Amino acid sequence: MSPSILRLPYQALAYLSPKHRQDAQWTYRQALANAVLKSGLEIYTGLRINPSLSLKPGHEKRRFVLIEPGNPLLYAGAAHDDKIKPETIGATWYPDTYHVRDYDRADCEYVMLYLHGGSYVLGNGRTLTCRYLTTTLLQNTPCCYILSVQYRLACNKNGRFPAQLQDAITAYSYLVHTLRIPASRIVLSGDSSGAHLALALLRHIAYLKEFHGRKEDDHVSINKALLPPPKCTWAFSPWCDVPAARDPNCWTSSPRFKSEYIPGSFPAWGAQKFLDDLEITEFIEQYVAPIKHPFLLPSPVLVVTGGREVLCEEHKELVQSYRSLPRNESRIEVFVEENVPHDVLMIAWIMNFHGEARTCACQAGKFLLRRETRETNE
């Protein structure tokens, strides 16, 4: 039995007094929900549950689509692996199945590619876990459709890196090359490990342009091997250094650990499975530890963090390191929602941070509109 679950009855009494809560400004429900989440994730990690992913529609019915791997040339560089190969993946549309004809509607502005969180060992992007998050984003941003990717989990067979990067490439290529949605109308977004994956995909997009740009193939072949950058990227509470997370002390030693609902064992397990037997060369480290390797961003990025989450300072450091590169100064920003722990969009409905979640979504939408206005004026 997890030690944290034994503490819950005492915490339930102690939190009656605000001074004993993780944050004195939190309500009783927020404090208790935080403790319950931390205990639940600790138990989940201890049981080493390996959730299976289905390629059947299930409750999502027609909103669930199967996506075949794209052009093999897209899976170059860090996405190429002798053991891990691109596979057919599933994805869920929100609020309904996308139709090409809908794109001509006056109110249909942007399509979002969304990559869920869960330390690469939990989640599937489907309605049960992502309804609240996707609804909040659809209601508070200019996006009218979201494609939520069911990428491979690291705890399953053939699930270590670069499986997730391959799946993100497959999904992005599906939007651009199969559905022919202009990249200038695509928003790339993710939360937690999904935000880490979004940054990896953005780096890969930049890599493909450089890699294939050196070749002398015909123009048509090159175009099929490229992925144009999205309009912008929203990274909600991104994981910044997966290799470091293998040590749970990197998490638990933070002064913000008290107000964090994630136990150190959860990201440690996810990081171990995500990396597994992978040789972490300097090239690979650029993808798995983005905080150490800033790169020239092909399109703007907004990092959203919580003032009470363990990774808050890392998020600020990440943004600062990317701003140090020429041409990146105006391409990356950070927004801090002071009163919340990690990934508020995902847990707002549990911890009753509805207003804060809406604020974060609105800030993402405003970031996009500012960029659009700036480009129009240039």
- Kindly name the residue from 119, 148, 189, 192 that is annotated as catalytic: 192
The fold of the 59-377 domain, in CATH, is Rossmann fold (3.40.50)
Output the DSSP codes for 169-205. Answer: HHHHHIIIIIS---GGGEEEEEETHHHHHHHHHHHHH
Integer CA distances (angstroms), 178 to 33, 56, 172, 267, 371, in order: 43, 21, 10, 35, 26
Q: Rounded to 5 degrees, what angle do the CA atoms 273, 278, 283 make?
A: 125
Contact 214, 140 (CB under 8 A): no
**DSSP states of 94-119 as a string?**
ESS---GGGGGSTT--EEEEEE--ST
pLDDT of residue 3: 66
Question: What pLDDT does 105 receive?
Answer: 55
d(CA 44, CA 48): 7
What's the CA gap between 157 and 369, in Å, rounded? 41
pLDDT score recorded for residue 218: 46
Spans of all domains in the chain: 1-47, 59-377
Q: What token pair was written down for 365? A: 């939408």
Separation CA 315–CA 236 (nearest Å): 10
Q: Is this prediction's pTM over 0.75? A: yes
Residue 221 falls in the annotated catalytic set: no
Inter-residue contact 173 to 208 (CB < 8 Å) = no
φ/ψ of 247, rounded to 5, equals: -95, 110
Q: Which two tokens stand for residue 376?
A: 């129009």
Helices (H), 262-304: 265-275, 282-288
What residues form DSSP beta bridges with 67?
A: 89
Amino acid 262: pLDDT:
97
378 residues of the chain, pLDDT tens digit each: 566 778 899 999 999 999 999 999 999 999 999 999 999 999 999 999 899 999 999 999 999 999 999 999 999 999 999 999 999 999 999 999 998 765 555 556 899 999 999 999 999 999 999 999 999 999 999 999 999 999 999 999 999 999 999 999 999 999 999 999 999 999 999 999 999 999 999 999 999 988 776 554 544 454 556 899 999 999 999 999 999 999 999 999 999 999 999 999 999 999 999 999 999 999 999 999 999 999 999 999 999 999 999 999 999 999 999 999 989 999 999 999 999 999 999 999 999 999 999 999 999 999 999 988 777 665
Can you give the pLDDT at residue 104? 57
